[in-house]
């Protein structure tokens, strides 16, 4: 994991990606700190105690379950593959989006010219469907 995170960091620097480089640097730092702490604990004999063995077993179990979930193959979701057609449920009422996108607020009574009010009279107002 440490090698992959450092390789990702070097790749981001090579591609001159500033945000990805920052994220990769933080990720590499965290992974290296965890690795150093794990090795220090192993050298101190933490994993020779019953609590240490239980901790190590829990870490291995989490890594094994995570690895299984990341690499297993699942059947494709038919509804997702159908696009928007797979999400339609029931009868669909069609409408013209151009009529909905031009919603206008109610004109202020002192806002001005009758021609403007005449133009706005034909468009739907906010709150009207």
**Residue 88 domain-assigned?**
no
Ordered per-residue pLDDT tens for the chain, 129 residues: 778 888 888 888 888 888 888 888 898 889 889 889 888 888 888 888 888 889 889 999 999 999 999 999 888 887 777 777 766 677 777 776 666 655 555 555 555 566 566 666 666 666 665
Tokens matching residue 107: 């004109």
Structural domain tally of the chain?
A: 2
Domain with 64, as residue range(s), is: 2-71
**Residue 81 domain-assigned?**
no
Whose structure tokens read 């990720």? 27
Residues 58 and 104 in one domain: no
Quick one: which of 30, 44, 22, 23 has its CA closest to 1?
A: 30
Residues 103 and 62 in one domain: no
pTM of the model: 0.43
Whose structure tokens read 């640097």? 25
User: Secondary structure of the chain: what % helix, strand, coil (to 5)?
Assistant: 65, 0, 35
What angle, 0 to 180 degrees and rounded to 10, lies between the N-to-C axes of helices 2-14 and 18-43?
Answer: 160
């Amino acid at each position: 994991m440490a090698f992959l995170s450092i390789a990702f960091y070097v790749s981001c620097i090579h591609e001159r990606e500033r945000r990805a480089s920052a994220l990769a640097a933080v990720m590499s730092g965290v992974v290296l700190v965890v690795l150093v702490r794990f090795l220090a604990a192993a050298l101190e004999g933490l994993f020779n105690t019953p609590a240490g063995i239980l901790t190590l077993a829990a870490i291995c179990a989490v890594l094994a379950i995570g690895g299984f979930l990341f690499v297993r193959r699942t059947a494709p979701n038919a509804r997702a593959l159908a696009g928007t057609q797979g999400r339609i449920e029931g009868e669909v009422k069609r409408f013209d989006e151009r009529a909905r996108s031009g919603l206008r607020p109610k004109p202020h009574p002192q806002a001005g010219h009758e021609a403007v009010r005449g133009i706005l009279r034909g468009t739907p107002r906010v709150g009207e469907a």
